[in-house]
Structure 1
Amino acid sequence: MCTEEEFAYFVEASYGSIYPALGKLEEDGLVTSRTEQQDGKPARKVYSITNAGRQAFAEQLAEPLGEDMFRSPFLLFARFAHILPRELVEQRCAEFLSRTAGKLQQLKDAGGRYECNPADKWVIDYGHAVLEVAERHFRTHMHELITMARAEPRKDAAE
């Protein structure tokens, strides 16, 4: 069973785009759906990929890959640390470390939560390695970012 959280690192999609896409895939015979009743909840649709869907997916994966995309609200924040109060920069650094520790734990737990095939394990290990390097770099250099920040808020900042 695949869940949204498993694929959040690979693709960005919202419910507003997922369900129309599933409808089109079903129309094209690439997935099928069935309605599943739930106690005390509305019925839900469960989708399954067809053999034609697997083949189409494999063909799509064989196409040249696009560039990996990396977006970081924290790095945008860091880019302007020099105009921000030091206390705020320290707070955001602590939040970043906390989030990174949480993500590392999620990846560690993911390996035990599901039966992983070797490819899944490789992806989890890669993500773990990337986050470990980021955390190590951050811990080593965050003092530089904090030092760049203003010691006190400027009174003329709004002018």
Structure 2
Amino acid sequence: MNVRTVCLAILTQGETTGYEIRKRSTEGDFSYFLEASFGSIYPALSKLEEDKLVTSRVQPQAGKPAKRVYSITPLGRETFINSLFEDLNHDVFRSEFLLFLRFAEELPCELVEKRILERISKVDEEIASIKEMGADLEAKADRWVLDYGLTCLCQARDYLVEHKSEIIAMAQRVDAAAKAAE
């Protein structure tokens, strides 16, 4: 899946601006599928318009610069649906947190514990955000996808809570860390 596909996916739900596409793909309901930067969204939208998959219009705004609003065309909708028949790539999971934990044995246990507690707090925030996002969902597929993501986060949280002592125990005690620094 690429930025063009995500733009089309968002546009299937109604007309919108490039800014709104960016917002939805980084912190909204599409943020769990693919992160899209402004630097990739606008070229994708231009190419989609060139290919007659979307149209745009300029909408004046009082006291602000005009904004460009994009709409999907019937050909764009057909192209998007057809793209869903293509083979899917593997999910990509990258985590600075896991890189940090991979070196827990080199770090003071207090720092490892602090980072784990921070991560649990962050996951709690994500869980709350997803639950809030789902409050107004009516489509069954949207609910299923949201529940799947929520389940993954809850499992990660449970693992952190249940197993944090194991990784903390691998970390260095303060006196050992101080000796290693010398």
Give the TM-score normalised by the residue count of structure 1: 0.92
Provide the C-alpha distance between the structure 1 equivalents of 2:69 and 2:173, rounded to a whole number of angstroms.
Answer: 55
Provide the C-alpha distance between the structure 1 equivalents of 2:180 and 2:162, rounded to a whole number of angstroms.
Answer: 33
Aligned counterpart for 1:139 among listed residues 161, 168, 177: 161
Alignment of 1:154 with 2:174, yes or no, is no
Identity of aligned residues (%): 50
Aligned to 1:9: 32
Structure 1 39/147 Cα, relative in aligned 2: closer, same or farther at 3 Å?
farther
Aligned amino acid, residue 149 of structure 1: A
Aligned to 1:99: 122
Aligned to 2:148: 126
Aligned to 2:86: 63
CA shift, 1:44, in A, is 1.5
Unaligned regions of 5+ residues in structure 2, if any? 1-13, 15-20
Q: Which moved more, 1:85-94 or 1:147-156?
A: 147-156
> What SS class does the counterpart of residue 44 from structure 1 fall into?
strand
> What SS class does the counterpart of residue 21 from structure 1 fall into?
helix
> What SS class does the counterpart of residue 7 from structure 1 fall into?
coil
Aligned counterpart for 2:44 among listed residues 15, 21, 27: 21
Aligned amino acid, residue 18 of structure 1: I
Aligned to 1:30: 53
Where do 4+ consecutive residues of structure 1 move more than 3 Å? 154-157
Unaligned regions of 5+ residues in structure 1, if any? none
Give the TM-score normalised by the residue count of structure 2: 0.81
